Amino acid sequence: QPFVEIDDVAMRYGGADATLALSGTSLQVERGEFVAVVGPSGCGKSTLMKLVSGLWPSSSGSVTVGGREVDGPLPMVGMAFQNPTLLPWRTILGNVMLPLEVVEPHRRQLRAKRAYYADKAGRLLDMVGLAGFGTHYPHQLSGGMQQRASLCRALIHDPQLLMLDEPFGALDIFTREELWAQLQDVCLSLKPTVILVTHDLREAVFLADRVLVMSSRPGRIINERRIDLPRPRR
């Protein structure tokens, strides 16, 4: 059974002049697979991501992750979007640790593993070039640095499913390509299922096992290509 299954989903945004963002949209993603979704602006890529992430309910159709109907954000999912959306009143480290409060809702459990997670957060920040910035506040960092911190936040709890909506869009080309390699490393060791939305075809081909092309009116997957490139292995 596919790990992520989107079956004949429709999404209509509110009001009388409602936009039909998705209609008859279906998609299956195997466990451990890395798929990239490309397509023109406004074709419904972000909407699809929100439905799978449980941030919005679909108007009709079904979305399942790990065989269960999605009815809200799931702890096993890590998300990063085009905007870093860090909480301004928390330090970078405090922001990175945020998902743990959902995954480990009992304070005593979280305290017991605090050292483990603090160590992991440190390694993640180090990986994205933010060593030493854990005690800073978001406004003290550049946009690109905040974006990189939001990637650490998506990874802190070893998610089984990674939902990435143009996470590298705001970064310069050098940082971007470095993060591709690091994301590849994360995928090799953690083997998460990944759905990545991107405007960058090179990025899609470099990272994904399968590239899906979406078209607008209504948003639907109209084409796909399996990418058979030699991949680094451990």
Binding site for ligand ADP (CB under 6 A): 13, 19, 21, 39, 41-47, 140-145, 172, 175
Where does residue 13 fall: left (phi above 0), alpha (psi -120 to 50 degrees), or beta otherwise? beta
At closest approach, how far in Å is the CB of 229 from ligand ADP?
25
At closest approach, how far in Å is the CB of 107 from ligand ADP?
32
- Among 21, 13, 28, 55, which residue's Cα sits nearest to residue 195? 28
| 39/192 with CB nearer ligand ADP | 39
22, 197 Cβ separation under 8 angstroms: no
Cα separation, 226 vs 30, in Å, equals 13
207, 30 Cβ separation under 8 angstroms: no
At closest approach, how far in Å is the CB of 17 from ligand ADP?
10
Residue in the shown chain whose Cβ atom is closest to ligand ADP: 144
| 12/31 with CB nearer ligand ADP | 12
| 207/213 with CB nearer ligand ADP | 213
Cα separation, 14 vs 24, in Å, equals 18
At closest approach, how far in Å is the CB of 53 from ligand ADP?
12
| 170/190 with CB nearer ligand ADP | 170
